[in-house]
Amino acid sequence: MNITELARILKVPTQELRDKLPQLGFDIGQKAIKVDNKIASRIINQWPILIRQFTAKEQAEKKSAAADATPITEKKAIKIPNFVTVRNFSALTGAPVNKVLSELMKNSIFSSLNEKIDFETAAIIGADLGFNVILAEENEENKIAENDIMQKVLDKETAADLKDRPPIIVVMGHVDHGKTKLLDAIRQTNVMAGEAGGITQHIGAYQITHKNKVITFIDTPGHEAFTAMRNRGAKIADIAILVVAADDGVKPQTVEAYRIIEAAKLPFVVAINKIDKPEANIDMVKRELGEQLNILPEDWGGKIVCLPISAKNNLGIDELLDMLLLTAEMEAKNIKANPDAAASGTIIESHIDRGEGPVATVLIQNGRLKVGDPLTFNGLLYGKVRALKDHFGKNITLAEPAMPVKIIGLKMAPSIGDIMQVGEGEKVKIRKVNSQNRSAMKPAEEKPETADGKNINILIKSDVLGSGEAIEGSLAKIETPEIKIKIVNKGLGNITEGDVTRAQASNAKLIGFNVKVTPLAAKLAREKKVEIKSYKIIYELINDLKAEVASLIELEMERVDLGRMKVLAIFRTEKGSQIVGGRIIDGKVEAKALIEVKRDKETLAEGKLIKLQCSKQDVNIVDTNQECGISYEGKPVIKVDDILQFYKMEKKK
């Protein structure tokens, strides 16, 4: 291809193209006349990405030059909650504890390591230490507190105690792009067959062995309702797999998943799935990754590995696992734990089992968990480990670091995301519940007012905490300023008579997700006229409530202007009506329209159109430039040359 033709296609001057191509990695000389067709095709395909990268590089170089010329005086920003212990403040700032204590003493504050200081004090001390202390928002406070617990545990470990552990891989991506199918291919089990509608409803963790090395996988649901669950999955992972379907490309949840990976600073690989489909287009996916996410594949000159796979036909799976192990080797310094320490980990699932009581799935992040170990969550003693089960459901006696394990023996179901530690803590107070309703109900919110057509009161019962939490998050998105969805209570397990009674007292409807309704509860609901709806797929639940919200929004009357008529003749005038003729000067006239009588832009009267005729025939519509006669009901003030404005009132949401 002539280089002038290439420049014309790319819409750049020929000499500018000659100047830029070497800087973009193409060895094209200043005197080149022609370009190899393959290289030209590659340049055309990658041009938008290449130019974006070139511009970013230029801007970065300019910023760097400006930064070199300007002395750095900006203080490092540290986010602090309203109250923080001296020890945690030291950990957050990175300042030595004795230095923090010394600064406090200079300000006449004598504190121990575990005493809390308020934000104002922390801001003053932080400024003295060279930090810009900012008040964290509520959700950031929770994140700081949560990260603190695990960070404190890991900070206690010395380098000599830390040993290599299996890498933890999180699988993320858009709904229906084949994440669960990929894990099926890896684990050679059929989790997806048991999922309603083929959509993963819960978070799960599994282990496999590849080339004599253990790898832990976390499966996170792809539907937007499970954003919070995906966020948790990313927090405890070492490496991510971003799954994108070859026939569908980058979708909203793909972007969202990438943002989570990016925020967690996780190394990742892209798995381009479903390459077995006839409509698969790998280049299209790579182009969208570059354009929408600025992910440049390795074979296009970037740094991100993009592997084509088919989970359905088991193609490329070994190569993907090899790449994960290679990435884990490169990140080896960050993938360590002390197996001899007291166990600690993160709760990734929690529910009530009819036979086993409260159970939780925990991913061990440090130490070994043994049968008989006392467990604490947020400083509360939740019981002892009575039994441990691996991801196959087999009983085990010991759980190693990076191992997902089911714990039996808890007195209450902990919350997802809780940090579990082995040790003594304050005994948790258990409220007695009916044996038929062994649910981990959270305390009810303030009792809502009786539904008045402006609120929808609901009571949620779900199989696991993650599902209930995801439903709650989704419902918050569909309520409107006029219509509020109030969750009067939520819990785990089947719907019982107690739930029906609570729903009746709150004038609420009962919603069950992946749970059953006991026969006695169903009978009581019929007697009390309490509505119960059961769902297996979250889409259906959300869509039903969305429709109900829409039905409760009041209709508003809105004026719609139709057209104007210039009065040419008055045929009859009576006490409360007139018959006039005229020409439609713009718009149209519809039968039974409302009328404003205007003269010199002033409205003289209002009335109704009773009858509309054109060529002495009754009609429903008369268009622009047509002449017609109308029968007007209203104050008889119409004169020749008046303008009649026709309009109607419509009901709109």
Neighbouring-strand partners of residue 84: 117
**What is the DSSP secondary structure assignment for residue 342, as one 8-state letter?**
B
When pLDDT is cut at 50, 70 and 90, the band that residue 292 belongs to is confident
Q: For residue 278, what are its two tokens?
A: 């006839």
Given this model, what pLDDT does residue 322 score? Answer: 93
Q: How high is the pLDDT of residue 155?
A: 61
| 495 and 374 part of one domain | no
Distance CA 221, CA 171 (A): 9
Query: Can you say how many angstroms the Cα of residue 570 is from the centroid of all Cα atoms in its chain?
Result: 66
Output 96 or 145, whichever has higher pLDDT. Answer: 96
Do residues 200 and 287 share a domain? yes
C-beta separation of 402 from 167 below 8 A: yes
Whether residue 379 sits in one domain with residue 467? no
Q: What is the mean pLDDT of residues 507-532?
A: 89
Considering the domain architecture, whether residues 413 and 481 belong to the same structural domain is answered as no
* Maximum mean pLDDT: which of 87-96, 172-181, 314-323, 483-492: 314-323
Give residue-wise pLDDT tens across range 448-474. Answer: 443 344 678 888 988 777 777 778 777
Q: Which amino acid is present at 586?
A: D
What 3-state DSSP class applies to 22?
helix
Q: Is 278 exposed, middle or buried (0-12, 13-18, 19+ CB in 10 A)?
A: exposed
Q: Is the pLDDT of residue 179 over 70?
A: yes
Q: Between β-strands 627-634 and 577-590, what pairing exists: parallel, antiparallel or unpaired?
A: antiparallel
**How deeply is 6 buried, as exposed, middle or buried, from its count of CB atoms within 10 A (0-12, 13-18, 19+)?**
buried
Average pLDDT on 33-46 reads: 80
- Tokens 């296009």: give the residue: 300
Are both 342 and 327 inside the same structural domain?
no
Residue 114's pLDDT is what? 56
Asked whether residue 440 is domain-assigned, the answer is no
Which tens digit of pLDDT belongs to each residue from 50-81? 777 777 777 777 766 665 554 544 567 788 87
Q: Please indicate, yes or no, whether residues 321 and 206 belong to a single structural domain of this protein.
A: yes
What is the percent of the chain with per-residue pLDDT over 90, rounded to a whole number?
A: 25
Whether the pLDDT of residue 370 is over 70: the answer is yes
| Residue 158 located in a structural domain | no
Predicted pLDDT at 140: 46
Q: What span, in angstroms and rounded, lies between the C-alpha atoms of 44 and 21?
A: 12
Is pLDDT at 445 greater than 50 in this prediction?
A: no
Per the structure, how many domains does the chain have?
A: 6
Q: Which long-range contacts (CB under 8 A, 24 or more apart) does 256-260 make?
A: 256/224, 256/227, 256/230, 257/172, 257/173, 257/174, 257/222, 257/230, 258/293, 258/295, 260/172, 260/230, 260/231, 260/234
Chain segment 582-631, per-residue pLDDT in tens? 999 999 999 889 999 999 888 999 999 999 999 888 999 999 999 999 99
Average pLDDT over residues 82-96: 77
Q: Where are the beta strands (DSSP E) in 87-221?
A: 116-118, 131-135, 163-164, 168-173, 204-210, 213-219
The predicted pLDDT at position 181 comes to: 84
Q: What angle do CA 294, 300, 306 make, to 5 degrees?
A: 75
Average pLDDT over residues 489-512: 85
First to last CA, the chain: 58
pLDDT band for 382, please (50, 70, 90 cuts). confident
Give me the CATH number covering residue 591.
Answer: 2.40.30.10
The greatest distance separating any two alpha carbons of the chain, rounded to the nearest whole angstrom, comes to 107
Q: Is the pLDDT of residue 307 over 80?
A: yes
Helix, strand, coil share (%) of the chain residues, nearest 5: 35, 35, 35
Q: Rounded CA gap, 161 and 155, in Å?
A: 11
Whole-model pTM over 0.85? no
pLDDT of 146:
46
Q: How confident is the model at residue 428 (pLDDT cuts 50, 70, 90)?
A: low
Instruction: Give residue 225's pLDDT.
Output: 42
Residue 632 above 80 pLDDT?
Answer: yes
Whole-number CA gyration radius for the chain: 34
What is the torsional sign of CA 382, 385, 391, 392?
Answer: negative
Q: From CA 624, how far away is CA 627, in angstroms rounded?
A: 9
pLDDT of residue 583: 95
Domain boundary among 283, 299, 334: 334
pLDDT at 488: 81
Distance of CA 541 to the CA centre of its chain: 17
449 in any annotated domain: no
Whole-number Å distance between alpha carbons of 510 and 274:
40
To which residue do tokens 């992910």 refer?
Answer: 295
Of residues 298 and 33, the one with the higher pLDDT is 298
Residue where a domain stops, chosen among 407, 427, 447: 427
Tell me how far apart the alpha carbons of residues 651 and 646 are, in angstroms, rounded to a whole number: 17
**152 located within any domain:** no
Decide the pairing of beta strands 239-245 and 168-173: parallel
Same domain for 483 and 378, yes or no, is no
- Please indicate, yes or no, whether residues 55 and 128 belong to a single structural domain of this protein: no
H/E/C letters for each residue in 198-224?
A: HCCCCCEEEEEEECCEEEEEEECCCCH
Question: Does one domain contain both 201 and 327?
Answer: yes
**pLDDT confidence tier of residue 478, bands split at 50, 70 and 90:** confident
Same domain assignment for residues 284 and 342 = no
> Which tokens is 282 given?
């790998």
Q: Kindly state whether residues 419 and 461 are assigned to the same domain.
A: no
* CATH code of 545's domain: 3.40.50.10050
Token pair recorded at residue 70: 């300007």
The Cα angle at residue 89 between residues 87 and 90, in degrees rounded to 5: 65
One-character DSSP codes across 285-335: HHHHHHHHH---BGGGTSSB-EEE-BTTTTBSHHHHHHHHHHHHHHTGGGS
Residues 589, 612 share a domain: yes
Model pLDDT for residues 540-577, shown as the tens digit of each residue:
888 888 888 887 776 677 889 999 999 999 999 998 99
Helix axis angle, 317-330 relative to 179-187, nearest 10°?
90
Residue 427's pLDDT is what? 63
- pLDDT confidence band for 442 (50 / 70 / 90): very low
Specify the pLDDT at position 233.
53
| Mean pLDDT of the region 224-233 | 49
Average pLDDT over residues 157-181: 82
Encode pLDDT of 247-287 as tens digits: 988 887 788 788 878 877 889 999 999 999 999 999 999 99
Look at strands 83-85 and 532-535 and give their pairing.
Answer: unpaired
Cβ-contact 486, 448 below 8 angstroms: yes
pLDDT score, position 414: 78
pLDDT the model gives residue 541: 86
600: in domain: yes
Does position 175 have pLDDT exceeding 90, yes or no? no
Write out the residue range of the structural domain in which residue 21 sits. Answer: 3-63
Q: Is the pLDDT of residue 111 over 70?
A: no
